[in-house]
Amino acid sequence: PMPPVASTADGLKATLAFEPAAPMSGAQNTAILKVTDAVKGGGVTDLQPYLGAMGHMVLVHQDGTTYVHSHPDEALEGVGKDGTIPFLARFAKPGWYRCWAQVQRGGKVVTFAFAVKVEGR
């Protein structure tokens, strides 16, 4: 399993974890982004929609050409209201991916960066 990874930007801390815990290529994966206040701790309850969604995520494979663009799972009620945003992702192949996740707070877009290892089936 891949342990959760963290990134800090603009006074916010984001933790990224997956369900299943070891993301797999060729399967539906849920990437769970949890945004907290980097100074005070605790969930962030004032995220705003950005470009029509509570967040955006792009994952680029180590080959530099394969990528995944993911939006939050809006079928779930209250997405992002407590700082937790589940993204749906299907990876074409195994390997390392560089991930960028964006949220908006106070009218400012905040970008978090992560490295994600995807296993083969």
Q: What predicted TM-score, i.e. pTM, was given to this entire model?
A: 0.92
Q: What is the Cα–Cα distance from 12 to 10, expressed in whole angstroms?
A: 6
Residues 11, 52 contacting (CB under 8 angstroms): no
Residue 120 token pair: 């083969």
Cα gap 10→71, rounded to integer Å:
22
Work out the mean pLDDT of the chain and round it to a whole number.
Answer: 93
Over residues 64-114, the pLDDT tens digits come to 999 999 999 888 888 998 999 999 999 999 999 999 999 999 999 999 999
84-90, strands of its sheet edge to edge: 5-9, 12-19, 28-37, 84-90
